Amino acid sequence: MSHDRDGEDTKLLAAGDHARLLAKYEPVIIGRCIAELRGHADADDVAQDVKLRLWSELARGKAYRVPFRVVVHKVIGWTLGDHFAGRPTHGPLPEGWDPADPDDAYGELLDDDAVAAALDGLPDGKTRQVMELHYRARLEIDQIAERLGMTRNAVDQALHRGHAKLRETLTGG
């Protein structure tokens, strides 16, 4: 299925039909932004920033050595990371980003999905929020403490509880 999608994407890229290509990924972009931001009102703005980033790269003729779906997920991740860090999210993709080994991009995407699946097993609450900010948004402990209005020690304790819960869930004990 993804092979067929990649073939369609390649045809749209070759034809310069960027509008259709981005429209095809709009539900993915919006869905992931809503999920990551837990339905927060900023989700639409972040999704728009993702589409603008992609559009600007496509308009400049950027070529990718990985399937476009991988590019989309990388840009979503970068834009969400920028959002969580309070940086502007509407800039271009990082200069020189063109992974030499496409398998690395797939591996990172799969790792993100595995982390998301593991964290989805945690009950809602501060512990889950801390774990998501640490592992999915890749924030440092001090950044998490500031964002959530917690002490550094409370964040450390939440991470410890989260790790214990994950270990219990993953080992079945």
What residue segments make up the domains of the chain, in order of their start?
1-97
Rounded Cα distance between 119 and 37, Å, is 14
Burial of 94: CB neighbours in 10 Å, binned 0-12, 13-18, 19+: exposed
pLDDT at 87: 58
Residue 129 φ/ψ, nearest 5 degrees:
-60, -45
Residue 52 identity: L
pLDDT at 157: 92
pLDDT above 60 (res 121): yes
Rounded Cα distance between 22 and 72, Å, is 9
The mean pLDDT value for 148-169 works out to 86
Q: Write the secondary structure of 1-65 as one string of H (helix), E (strand) and C (coil).
A: CHHHHHHHHHHHHHHCCHHHHHHHHHHHHHHHHHHHCCCCCHHHHHHHHHHHHHHHHHHCCCCCC
pLDDT above 90 (res 106): no
pLDDT above 80 (res 91): no
pTM for this structure?
A: 0.49
Q: Which residues of 13-30 are buried (b: 16+ CB within 10 A; e: fewer)?
A: beeeeeeebbebbeeebb
**Do the beta carbons of residue 110 and residue 121 sit within 8 Å?**
no
pLDDT above 70 (res 137): yes
Hey, how many other C-beta atoms are within 10 angstroms of the C-beta on 120? 10
pLDDT per residue as tens digits for the range 11-64: 998 898 888 998 888 888 888 888 887 766 778 888 888 888 898 888 888 888
pLDDT above 80 (res 78): yes
Higher-confidence residue: 157 or 163? 157
Q: How many residues in the chain?
A: 173
